[in-house]
Chain A
């Protein structure tokens, strides 16, 4: 069974830092792109970042570029998100999700998601 389990959320002051982790199991982690997607309270889903299978190539939403860093450890089957210079509008539930696509396609959708970890940025 595919499992993604996020951790590391909590309360942090504006300007502070937090590191989220996602532990993957039940599949060959190193074969998949993985993403972070967030949902602010009462709002919809927003894509945050993705990393390719090797960890060499990453993408970020404009709202987090330069502040967040995504990384992965294929030996430990873990995905991380280092969040710096946090702002109140970063308050959200953060989900990790596995990216997939049909053979030959860019992995364009998300077939498995974790339960999320809550990040609250407030003084």
Chain B
């Protein structure tokens, strides 16, 4: 099973700042089967990115994804108030696994 490790655990930033979230896999993620989700308390998780760098429908352009192999990054270019949430990466390599999450909180 591929283990995903996200860092940092918590990111304390101010609105308008850039957020860089990391997701590292224990082995290469095949076929770029890597997605990112945003999750707010009491809400359903929301798909942000799939295929490493493709934005899901309705996701603003300030969200971008990059990476390959074992190292992936989600970048939020300028944080808006609604972006403060927990973010998860997820991969498929025969089974589905999630990272442990990065909380983006208001500084």
Contacts and interface: CB of A to CB of B under 8 A. Distances in A.
A59 B92 contact: no
A50 B35 CA distance: 17
B87 to A, nearest CB: 11
A44 B99 contact: yes
Given A44-B98, A47-B96, A111 B45 contact: no
Contacts of B56: 111
Contacts of B90: 45, 109-110
Interface residues of B, number: 25
B47 A59 contact: no
A13 B96 CA distance: 29
Interface residues of A, number: 23
B31 interface: yes
A109 B45 CA distance: 12
A50 B47 CA distance: 18
A102 B52 CA distance: 13
B50 to A, nearest CB: 5
Interface of A: 35, 37, 44-47, 50, 59, 61, 95, 97, 102, 105-106, 108-116
Interface of B: 31, 33, 35, 37, 39, 43-47, 50-51, 56, 86, 88, 90-92, 95-101
14 contacts: A35-B96, A37-B45, A44-B86, A44-B100, A44-B101, A45-B37, A45-B101, A95-B45, A105-B31, A108-B96, A109-B35, A109-B92, A113-B46, A116-B44
